């Protein structure tokens, strides 16, 4: 059997087209575009690429993107002052501080300083708490939200499914598990101390790998017909000397022979993350403006 490919690019494009319609509606209703502020401290090349694509996607969706770059030697106090300014700015609905931050800045303190209503990354403890208690007003981290969207498109109802999430980070693993629990899955969170990981994975109808280890999940760890979501982004040496390529946490070719459906890397979860950032910004904008959320947002 060869698994169906879950096309994250196509799903993200469709979602972004829909979000552009909601963004137009928001602008027409309020007289201003929804606004997303991105903050980048320093010049880490990977972070700069991520932020550039977030700004581009924001503008393409008909929203207002404000970019606030800061030098690498910015102090924590200076960054906190900028967050306070953005919290107060009525034209800004979402604030994204690109991680990682330089060593002199405590990332947790910065995240805690963001207005939870503008926390479009969903990392603030208020939003994590809301997600944990199943409060639908939580702003949820973009990557797991994107994974859930793909799963629901593929499977419809997830109720009663055995779900295994590998990874327990606050950014992916834990919120992913909370979302799956919210969909009435039976959820197991596996991690670096899990005994017999392969056996745990073999019982999963839904397997989400968010580890950061290239091709760790082998084909014989997959229950036949399972749906596999590969969050991992790992750079490995390419076929030609000096070249590299990106692989996921799942050994794709092997897993494809066992799974019912699987996300490729690249082109699976990755594109969904930015689409969900736009979605969270629009949700935050509607709430701040006191507008009901349109259907499908």
The residues assigned a catalytic role are 54, 98, 121
Does position 232 bind ligand NAD by CB under 6 A? yes
CA trace torsion 70, 72, 75, 81 (10° rounding): 10
Min CB(34)–ligand NAD separation in Å? 22
Distance CA 54, CA 284 (A): 16
Output 32 or 213, the one with its CB closest to ligand NAD: 213
Q: Output the CA–CA distances (angstroms, integers) from residue 151 to 155, 247, 264, in the order listed.
A: 6, 20, 14
For residues 285 and 34, the answer to whether their CB atoms sit within 8 Å is yes
> Which ranges in 170-268 belong to alpha helices (H)?
173-182, 197-202, 252-258
137 token code pair = 């007003």
Residue in 212, 260, 267, 294 binding ligand NAD, rule: CB under 6 A: 212
Site string for ligand NAD, 249-288 (x = CB under 6 A): --------------------xx--x---------------
Residue in 35, 62, 94, 173 binding ligand NAD, rule: CB under 6 A: 173
236 token code pair = 């490995």
Residue in 65, 116, 167, 264 binding ligand NAD, rule: CB under 6 A: 167
Neighbour-count burial for 204-241, b at 16+ CB within 10 Å, e otherwise: bbbbbbbbeebbbbeeebbbeebbbbbbbbbeeeeeee
Region binding ligand NAD by CB under 6 A among candidate stretches 78-86, 101-109, 204-212, 276-284: 204-212
Residue in 234, 267, 287, 289 binding ligand NAD, rule: CB under 6 A: 234
Which residues of the chain form contacts with ligand NAD (CB under 6 A)? 143, 166-169, 171-173, 190-192, 194, 197, 210-213, 231-234, 269-270, 273
């Amino acid at each position: 059997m060869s698994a169906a490919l879950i096309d994250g690019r196509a799903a993200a494009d469709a979602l972004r087209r829909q979000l552009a319609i909601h963004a137009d509606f928001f602008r027409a209703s309020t007289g201003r575009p929804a606004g997303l502020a991105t903050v980048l401290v320093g010049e880490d090349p990977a972070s700069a690429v991520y932020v550039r694509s977030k700004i581009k996607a924001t503008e393409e969706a008909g929203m207002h993107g404000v970019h606030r770059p800061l030098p690498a030697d910015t102090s924590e106090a200076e960054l906190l002052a900028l967050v306070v300014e953005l919290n107060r700015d009525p034209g800004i609905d979402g604030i994204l501080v690109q991680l990682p931050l330089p060593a002199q800045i405590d990332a947790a303190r910065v995240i805690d300083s963001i207005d939870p209503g503008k926390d479009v990354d969903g990392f603030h403890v208020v939003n994590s708490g809301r997600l944990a208690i199943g409060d639908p007003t939580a702003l949820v981290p973009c990557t797991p939200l994107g994974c859930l969207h793909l799963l629901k498109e593929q499977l419809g109802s997830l109720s009663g499914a055995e779900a295994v999430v590998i990874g327990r980070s606050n950014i992916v693993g834990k919120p992913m598990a909370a979302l799956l629990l919210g969909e009435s899955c039976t959820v197991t969170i596996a991690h670096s101390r899990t005994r017999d990981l392969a056996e745990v994975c073999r019982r999963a109808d839904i397997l989400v790998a968010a580890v950061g280890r290239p091709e760790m999940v082998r084909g014989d760890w997959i229950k036949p017909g399972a749906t596999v979501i590969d969050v991992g982004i790992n750079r490995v040496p390419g076929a030609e000397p000096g070249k590299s390529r990106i692989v996921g946490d799942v050994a794709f070719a092997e897993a494809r022979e066992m799974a019912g459906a699987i996300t490729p890397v690249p082109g699976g979860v990755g594109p969904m993350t930015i689409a969900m950032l736009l979605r969270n910004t629009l949700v935050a904008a509607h709430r701040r403006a006191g507008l009901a959320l349109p259907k499908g947002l």
